Structure 1
Amino acid sequence: FTSAPTLEKEHTLTLRWTTVEGDVKTASVTCTPEVDPALQ
């Protein structure tokens, strides 16, 4: 992230996909965006 979309420090990304067998898989990734000081 080059900038924080909201004031929240942590963001949870939920990935959802379907396998070739037809199973639905989900995964959650929690990330903490940091603003590059050079871009401010």
Structure 2
Amino acid sequence: MSDSVYGSAFYASTGLHGAGAVIHSFADEQDWVLYHY
């Protein structure tokens, strides 16, 4: 869970706002899962 939270914060820091940030966050989470397992 910390990974997803960290990724979300990272995207927020970059300046992404709105649904775009959410979509990127979800994509990043899936990539993390694939790499993690």
TM class, shorter-length? under 0.3
Point out the structure with max Rg over C-alpha.
Answer: 1
TM-score (structure 1 length as normaliser): 0.22
User: Which structure dedicates a bigger proportion of its chain to helix?
Assistant: 2
User: Which structure dedicates a bigger proportion of its chain to strand?
Assistant: 1
TM-score (structure 2 length as normaliser): 0.22
